[in-house]
Copies of this chain bind each other. A is one copy, B any other.
Amino acid sequence: MPKVIDHDERRRHIVDVTWQIILEGGMETATMREIAARAGFANGALKHYFPGKDDIIRATYDSALATMTQFVLDAVGDKRGIEAIRAHCLAALPLDDFSVSAGRVQVAFWNSALGNPDLATFFSRHMQEWRESIARYLAEGRADGEIVSDLSDDEVISRIMLLNTGANVLALLAPETSTRELQIAHLEALLSDLATAPVPAV
């Protein structure tokens, strides 16, 4: 029987190899030659699976975001309101060695996205999904009576996004300003603000 080539499986393999190369050495080291060599392909054979390097980078970004999203969704499960926000953030923040080093790939993708509208759109769509999730948790928390602050959805979402994005960079480049303890302290301060009613005007 002829050998059956699983095209999707090979694409996934190329994406996994590319992720690992970027993780180890940054985007600059992810050349077509290096990806082919590490994935066990002959030079030039990658083009049977991806038209060019940009397509591999895009698929790798897409895969990383999908993995991250699934990880966050699993952590949230059927939690609601403040508990859902806590679980979402704890899953997304760079709190362990793996997620700190994955931040390196994130910075490389941001840098690429700044010169690649296609990657920028991917990122923006992902951010939009996060915004919608957090807005849903906030609505649940208000309906359940546990969120009583007058902070707007936009303010809360922005604070979470800025914390997460900033921590991705600082955990790598200035780790003393973004330790595990500090990230959790900021998250708990936010959750505590959500559960605090505004002081009535005198």
A157 is an interface residue with CB less than 8 A from chain B: yes
Bound-state Cα–Cα, A143 to B170, Å: 30
Bound-state Cα–Cα, A161 to B174, Å: 10
Residues on B with C-beta less than 8 A from A157 are: 177
Residues on B with C-beta less than 8 A from A166 are: 161-167, 169
A170 and B162: CB pair below 8 A? yes
B111 and A107: CB pair below 8 A? yes
Q: Which B residue's beta carbon lies closest to that of A161? A: B177
1/0 per position for A122-138, CB-CB distance to B under 8 A? 01100100010000000
Bound-state Cα–Cα, A111 to B25, Å: 11
Copies in the complex: 2
A37 is an interface residue with CB less than 8 A from chain B: no
Stretch of A3-11, A42-50, A73-81, A113-121 on the interface side? A113-121
B114 and A174: CB pair below 8 A? no
The tally of residues in A whose CB lies under 8 Å from a CB in B reads 40
Q: Which B residue's beta carbon lies closest to that of A123? A: B173
Residues on B with C-beta less than 8 A from A164 are: 166
Residues on B with C-beta less than 8 A from A54 are: none
Residues on B with C-beta less than 8 A from A170 are: 158, 161-162, 165
Binding site for B on A (CB under 8 A): 25-28, 104, 107-108, 110-111, 113-115, 120, 123-124, 127, 131, 154-155, 157-159, 161-167, 169-170, 172-174, 177-179, 182, 185-186
17 contacts across the A-B interface (CB closer than 8 A): A25-B115, A28-B115, A110-B173, A114-B173, A123-B174, A127-B174, A131-B177, A154-B182, A155-B185, A155-B186, A158-B182, A161-B166, A162-B177, A162-B186, A164-B166, A165-B166, A165-B169
- 7 residue pairs, one from A and one from B, having the closest CB atoms: A162-B166, A166-B166, A165-B166, A111-B111, A127-B174, A158-B182, A26-B115
